[in-house]
Amino acid sequence: MIQVDSPSLSSYISTLIPFVTWFKFPVLDIFATILVDIACMLCSMANVLYSSD
């Protein structure tokens, strides 16, 4: 499991896990975790680019 520093992100994932497990699709949980991780990375990169401009 990927360790997350952001409390909001970890709470989002922990909220998503039982929802996905209820649908019996654990792969979606992994996919969603990766999507959220990429989205956070893109947001932080965009913040750096815009702030340095």
Structure tokens at 13: 């994932």
The pLDDT of residue 20: 62
- Please report, for the chain, the start and end positions of each structural domain, with discontinuous segments joined by +: 24-53
The pLDDT of residue 26: 65
The pLDDT of residue 21: 64
The pLDDT of residue 1: 55
Each residue's pLDDT tens digit, 1-53: 555 556 677 777 777 777 666 666 667 778 888 988 999 898 888 888 877 76
The pLDDT of residue 38: 92
